[in-house]
Structure 1
């Protein structure tokens, strides 16, 4: 059975799914038109909310547009037309104004990861040939150091007020806005009348990794605008919705789905004060929408379940959940009324969470869904602007990445006997190419426009795609069978007292491939559960028992053979994805120091299963 909104066919000899969409969408050709349309439609409605001096401040769509024009005009006044301008800082209103003042008629925006060390910031600035940088005060000392070196940066613009003496090419963003307003008053329309070429490079984004490994992804405004319109074709949001911006804005998922998509549809964007303050921000901003990575939802769900157990209500909620799900199946939805008190603890208005960047446990999707909070999983890459496929308002198949969005195709390249192969995609959202790397571009985009994602998966008969893992991290056993770290990690992370895990395939001296796992222990959770601080041997025995139980449901050749316990968090990207090569190198070095005993490694217990 085919699902409405897609076409299942065979293209170039491959099983292919093409997205048609469900909702009518108003397409835009560039960011400038996107913002202009929203100002006309939503005018004095709140566009952004944020905390300042302990109070919530609001900026309307009209104010937002005026400040973009003021800053953009000032940037022209500094001679930055057609230049490359980097933006680095925490998620905040000034970041959004800065981005649009660059992209809507000045030059090329180069968003940078705020967690980069100074040497990497300098290297990316050099690689990207950046002419100016807009930064938050957190980076002031780094900017002073960069100004002393020959980096090519002409202007340093601080989002915050600068105090005391500073070099002449350092500027306050607010002061520049004032200068821009004066230029506008005297008739300067250089920024306002600037014509956007949607096919021209507009965004230069560096992928996660060290500066030598990070690829520069080149996107134009056609790429991103087509993707934003495609998201609009499958998910309905409303002007009375409020989105809490949590993920870093330099990442395309938040930039596209968490900002551009929200602005296009008149949603209010509220800025979180940080990961630790999410629970409070959800309530005080009356948030209804989230764009997140699974780790955030997993933490929320875990806390919720722990609270229900403590209150002795887990069994009651489970029973009521079965009743509400049965009623929902026949069109009677009382979930939000039935679980109102529980939802108030999460966020009383929260109705939808869009998850991406990594697989999410289907139990979390079903668990939140039972309470009346819809969680949908999507899939994308920086190179695809970024969203390729997602579950939607009509079909939400947990465990899959859903269907391709409107105008986007997905196919499986070189499928095996089970239909699994590399996921490839094409559409107007696919990047222009890798920056100054023609060879990598040609390797990733074939002559028919298919982008090779490096992810493996399969398409079912209803057009839903399931990702099985990354081709690079795939574990291939001596019998030719395959497994993926993610499937083990999802099982291990469900063990009570396990914070997170990392799985890999280790080659034994006899050539046998053995699955190993590094397990990060939540010592505080175990201490609370056991009423005392547990010892290392006790924890090892507990984990060993749990893994033996898991192995009973796993084919013998795939079972987890070894594990190492740790209390240190795994090394991750800013979107909370495990840096697998880095983590593998680290754990390999630990095991090498352990020798053949396989009993102790840097104080971490190793157990054979």
Structure 2
């Protein structure tokens, strides 16, 4: 580790970006920027949406017209400056139209994750008190109707997919086409009505409310002004340039900070074309059709893509498997030398990128959580221009990124323009808390003055709560959440996240939770990647019925033991996993075990699986399970099974543990 404790993005040679800066200077709110694009480039494509297999184009002029009609109707429904408009559903153009329409009313938009359950929705609605919600379809509308009078602030529920809606007669429901007709009628009487609204918007208006990840409690709502949202987009585009006409596929939830940056801010500032997939299930095939110039996927999605590639190779001929293994080995070896292997490129990687839809990529990114270095190096060797990002919702998403010629899988790169990263309270190795300052940080948390004040230090810097250090090059290296950094009872320091990421590079591991704080050794709870492990089992004629049954099979335990041992070989002896258990179910956000961005809620895991954790630190070789799990559709299933505790080495017996602790 280096002794460097501060790094400014102003010291880095980024791209010019003056044309983007001029655009947001001339039009300093989202509605103004949209109107300017519609005037200057009326017939250029702004968005596309795939419907019934056909990509439907939306020009800048059409985009602006939809927003104008919705905005005027919102005003007619009683939306006034300072109000909130909520949005929920899949990634759709209508979401973005509704968002900018809210901003034209000097109101704030609030995105809700599409898979949010009723109690989560009730909390957010009653906290933010929106008058209007733009809900995509019957599935989302049902959630609000089921809440009934528990969400009194909602006056209108706007839907834009009519399937299944004919059976409802709730007076709050209104079809989007009817909403736009109200706006069109207002425009017919007063053609300047919308232009006057746009002119009244101010750059210091709070435009967007975005939920934080909520790893420890209910999410807070970060507030962003137009000036911050657009200003940070400009600085980001200096670090990762995009141009008008570049293609992007919106595959991550629009309620997430990073998708807001790309599908809304970059779309308006750089005029990058945003493509909306037909459904979540078709996203990867739609990506292949578009062949985007830029893609952002979460680490979990990159891990799934890597696992899927390996899964497909399992079904191929032995000869193809040998070619794949040979090509990957050569590619990674060349990457370690700072080179590209042209033979592997010709024989393997070029075709593989084309198959994935990555042939035209100018840039690719991962962010939102840590990615295992093995996964990162795999895609880099393939020729995917993958870079790591780092940031938080409060910092408007990413504010560090790799430079093109300095990609390092161990780091998250340099701070962007106007951004300064500092390490406070460093230890003797330089490891301390990461704090960030830049002019486009959040304005604070909505309706939460106390938490807003606690989020910043006395110099106005945001306290991330993450542990990291700056290396000799000035790259930021992120280790883990400070509160999650752990130490065993034998004084061995370790990062649970670091070990978990190594495990999840395995084709067969979907999720892992590393344990060991104040315990004599490190242990793990592992979830198998069911689609791939089940395929592996079928090929070997191993009989099973359910996830629970498969995870309990001795052959699967042996398979996972080999995977854990592979990871152990890369770790210091004191940090190696001594015991593990395969969980009887996948960790699920609906059960509160993961956040909506798929981060582990460790406090929930510790409480919910306390019995299993206790067995991992006892002499018992099995854990008896008798529990009931609930599904999203309301059905329940009783699970009665016995889990094996796999001991990879002779971990100390309970009596020895007590002796060591004393």
TM above 0.5: yes
532 and 480 in structure 1: CA distance in 2 versus 1, 3 angstrom threshold:
closer
Kindly indicate which of the two structures has a greater share of residues assigned to helix. 2
Matched, 1:16 2:10: no
Query: How does 1:128-527 map onto structure 2 within 5 Å?
Result: 128-137=128-137, 138-149=139-150, 151-161=152-162, 162-163=165-166, 166-187=169-190, 189-194=192-197, 195-209=200-214, 213-308=218-313, 310=316, 311-312=320-321, 313-318=323-328, 321=331, 329=339, 335=345, 339-347=349-357, 349-351=359-361, 352-478=363-489, 480-508=491-519, 512=520, 514-522=521-529, 523-527=533-537
2:607 to 581, 585, 600: 585
321 and 561 in structure 1: CA distance in 2 versus 1, 3 angstrom threshold:
closer
- Structure 1 residue 585, shift from structure 2 partner: 2.4
Q: 1:537 is matched with which residue?
A: 554
- Structure 1 residue 71, shift from structure 2 partner: 1.0
Contact kept? 2:332, 2:378, Cα under 8 Å: no
Q: Alpha carbon RMSD of aligned pairs, Å?
A: 3.0
Matched, 1:70 2:87: no
Q: 1:31 is matched with which residue?
A: 30
Aligned-partner SS, 1:223: helix
Q: 1:87 is matched with which residue?
A: 87
1:600 to 617, 622, 629: 622
- Structure 1 residue 323, shift from structure 2 partner: 9.8
- Structure 1 residue 58, shift from structure 2 partner: 1.3
Q: 2:655 is matched with which residue?
A: none
Which 10-residue stretch deviates more, 591-600 or 25-34? 591-600
Q: Give 5+ residue unaligned stretches, structure 1.
A: 1-7
113 and 21 in structure 1: CA distance in 2 versus 1, 3 angstrom threshold:
farther
Count the aligned residue pairs.
595
Length-normalised TM-score, structure 1: 0.89
Aligned-partner SS, 2:96: helix
Contact kept? 1:84, 1:107, Cα under 8 Å: yes
- Structure 1 residue 542, shift from structure 2 partner: 4.0
Give me the whole-angstrom Cα distance separating, in 2, the residues matched to 1:199 and 1:568: 47
370 and 553 in structure 1: CA distance in 2 versus 1, 3 angstrom threshold:
closer
- Structure 1 residue 528, shift from structure 2 partner: 5.0
Give me the whole-angstrom Cα distance separating, in 1, the residues matched to 2:98 and 2:467: 37
Which 10-residue stretch deviates more, 72-81 or 92-101? 72-81
Matched, 1:555 2:572: yes
- Structure 1 residue 304, shift from structure 2 partner: 2.3
Give me the whole-angstrom Cα distance separating, in 2, the residues matched to 1:110 and 1:387: 20
Which 10-residue stretch deviates more, 320-329 or 488-497? 320-329
Which 10-residue stretch deviates more, 333-342 or 361-370? 333-342
Q: Give 5+ residue unaligned stretches, structure 2.
A: 544-549, 589-593, 626-641, 649-662
Contact kept? 2:421, 2:435, Cα under 8 Å: yes
Give me the whole-angstrom Cα distance separating, in 2, the residues matched to 1:360 and 1:192: 45
289 and 76 in structure 1: CA distance in 2 versus 1, 3 angstrom threshold:
same
Length-normalised TM-score, structure 2: 0.82
Give me the whole-angstrom Cα distance separating, in 2, the residues matched to 1:211 and 1:151: 27
